[in-house]
Amino acid sequence: MKLAHFAAKYFAMDEKVWARHANPWSVWTRYSCLPLLLACLWWREALQVWFWPTLIVVLLWIWLNPRCFKKPAKTDNWASRCVIGERILIYQREKVATHHEPVLNTIAILLAVFTLLCAIGLFFHEPISTCMGGVGLILTKTWFLDRMVWLSREVMAAEQKN
């Protein structure tokens, strides 16, 4: 998870940003990031001179998204629990039960495969590979988020017992 820790640091995800990102609106609108990025990269030749400004706007949205919404009043929902679980995985790895490891490893492999498929599709401008890679990434990321909900519930239940 060193890569995830690096990404969180790179995106300047401090306590305030993580709290705001736990807003369900932040989680659900985050699903727009990959399709927007893929569309920008797919239509790079058609955009011509507008490619770089469009890419910058998309990357800015990816960076701004966790900061755009206020801290939620309640975090007892699926979307908020995703973010809580992700924070636990990145910053409190020792609290993660070992039975999550095989699933997290499988998810990591699938994310790598779908990223490669998507990148190859974008490079060769091949729509089926690009779409299958993109859909695979979204579905695998959703599986990861669902695992984060499970993980967060386990850790929170263990902390309540202590």
Would you give the distance in Å from CA 106 to the centre of its chain? 16
Average pLDDT of span 30-49: 97
Residue 8, pLDDT above cutoff 60? no
Place of tokens 């890419």: 55
Whole-number pLDDT of residue 162: 73
Please give the torsion angle defined by the CA atoms of residues 47, 126, 57 and 148, in that order, rounded to the nearest 10 degrees. 170
Residue 122, pLDDT above cutoff 90? yes
The mean pLDDT of the chain is: 94
pTM of the full structure:
0.90
* Residue 83 to residues 36, 39, 70, Cα–Cα distance (Å): 22, 26, 14
Whole-number pLDDT of residue 12: 75
Of 63-72, 133-142, 153-162, the least confident = 153-162
Tell me the C-alpha distance between 49 and 143, whole Å: 37
Cβ neighbors of 53 (< 8 A, separation 6 or more) are none
Tell me the C-alpha distance between 147 and 156, whole Å: 14
- % the chain with pLDDT above 70: 93
Whole-number pLDDT of residue 80: 98
* 43 band by pLDDT with thresholds 50, 70 and 90: very high
Residue 150, pLDDT above cutoff 70? yes
Average pLDDT of span 127-146: 98
Tell me the C-alpha distance between 30 and 89, whole Å: 19
